[in-house]
Amino acid sequence: MKKGLSTPLVLLSGLFTSQVGFMLLVYTSNHEILAALKEIHGTKSAYLTIPAGNVVTGLGQLSTAFNGGLFFTFTLGTGLSVTAFLFGWVWHHLLGRNKKILPIAILCWVGGVAMVNYNGPQFIISATLLLTPFVVFFFTVFPHPSGCARLSRFYLWFHILLIFFSVTVAGFLGGNISFSNFRDTFLLSNPAGIMINDFYYRYTLHAARVFKPLGKRNVNTCFIDISKDDPLGKRIEEILLKADFFPVPPEKQVDLFVTKNGNHLCFIHRGKKILQCSTAAFVRSPSAWLKQFSLRTDNHLLFRQLIYFSLVAGLPLWGYIFLCVLLQTFLDKIGWSGNRTRMGVSVFVLSVIMVVVGILSYMSKISPHTAQNPVQSLVGRNRCAHLPTKSYNRHASHADEFLVAPHVCGRIAALKIICRKKIDLVDVQIHGALLKSSHVAERYWAARALAYSRGERGRKSLISLLEDSHPNVVCQALYALGKRADKTVVPAIIHLITTSDHWYVQWYGYRALKQLEWKQIALN
């Protein structure tokens, strides 16, 4: 009898297949951005577009597409792999390789893929959704002859009940996990975690751009088929520029084609008429009509839902199966085998997972509401937790002793409550030391807290943070500058956007400019 791939290799084959497809997907998306930027800047208008500068150089590199594709591989890729593996396992062990069931399953899956293409063809996504489950299913059932022994139903129900119980417990514990606390405690506190965090933030926007609707993108192309002598054409161009739709020559394929038909405007996408409205209605409420246009041209709603479901269910289940089989393989080699051993392995792996989730849940409760937190003492001593911000600011000097707490978690918690209560951090004497802390999370929250500082010292502190070595800190400095409504910082933000090599930093800078009511104009 031919010996097939081991279960870990079967699961990994799904990830490999999906990575190839998703890498190609991100690569294609990156080149679409390059083409759009070439068209926009080919008009010699030199608009400020995001991404910009050195980030654009990396868009054409295969390594960038590979890293961006990992986002999809470890979400949807794991979901597809585990779904195909479980179906193959059930089909072989419980359904006796019933050939009548396969056509029904294939038709259902093909129908689901067709729904992904409902609002427009998605060739690479469809190919990946079809090929990945096929590869995993094939390697799951291929080595088993039709007459081989099947596992007992008791073994299946044991797993189902065990997983159901674990999901219930994990859902209860996981509901207390805060992403920001998890990032501050487990990622930004050590070199390995910082590497993971930096990798995520450097490449996540390359992946996100694939499935974002037009209204969420920073680079879209448009053509306004209205005479330049008509004031309406100029007004519509200003509106579309504000919404990140940049004009390009008429011979180019654009994301939005606007034409006038009497007293109405027609909005066309890729040759298809999407909606029509009166000119007065659009000028009166352009954001509402552009939002509707974005919704009607959104081709990736179901795709995003599949990614989310795979993240919360597919990835944990994939990890559970992978760890169980690895441990069982090791035990088989030392002579420990049988159903009892398999069940014991399952209980052990899930117990470890529950312990990890419990630790994450406990650590995520370290917040301004924790009794052992020094900030709780700050609130209690001043007795102003529920007072207006102005009253609370009068006690800001008492924060010094808590912001010099021996443990960084205490200082970060103090900074979080300062953000929540909108205390002016500049009034705290040690604020300068916080901005130079060796802990990334501490500088992160100090930068965010400066959003509520209105003085010149606060502005200078934030400008200095734009040169911080960590992009997360720079992003929060940009966030704070946008919240302060000080338009004198616009040149500094534009300079950072055009010189930074980090897409996330540029994105935060662009959002800050929008908050400061900066208008898109040609830079040259």
Mind listing the pLDDT tens digit for each residue in 210-222? Answer: 999 999 999 999 9
State mean pLDDT over 137-145: 79
429 versus 113: which is more confidently predicted? 113
State mean pLDDT over 247-265: 88
Question: Distance from CA of residue 121 to its chain's centroid?
Answer: 24
Residue range 432-455, pLDDT digits in tens: 788 888 899 999 999 999 998 878
State mean pLDDT over 332-344: 65
pLDDT exceeding 90 applies to what percent of the chain? 48
* Residue ranges of the chain that CATH labels 1.25.10.10: 377-515
* Residue ranges of the chain that CATH labels 3.40.50: 214-296
At 160 the pLDDT is: 64
At 523 the pLDDT is: 54
**Residue 195, C-beta contacts closer than 8 angstroms, at least 6 positions apart:** none
At 136 the pLDDT is: 95
CATH topology of domain 377-515: Leucine-rich Repeat Variant (1.25.10)
Tokens of 96: 């006796």
pLDDT over 60 (residue 242): yes
User: Mean pLDDT over all residues of the chain?
Assistant: 82
- The verdict on domain 214-296 having CATH code 3.40.50 is yes
Calculate the alpha carbon distances from 451 to 52, 164, 176, 398 in Å.
26, 45, 27, 20
Residue range 2-53, pLDDT digits in tens: 455 677 889 999 999 999 999 999 999 999 999 999 988 876 667 899 999 8
Round to whole Å and give the CA distance between 199 and 112. 32
Sign of CA dihedral 239, 214, 308, 12: negative
Contacts 24+ apart (CB under 8 A), 226-232: 226/258, 226/259, 226/260, 232/260, 232/279, 232/283
Round to whole Å and give the CA distance between 504 and 482. 15
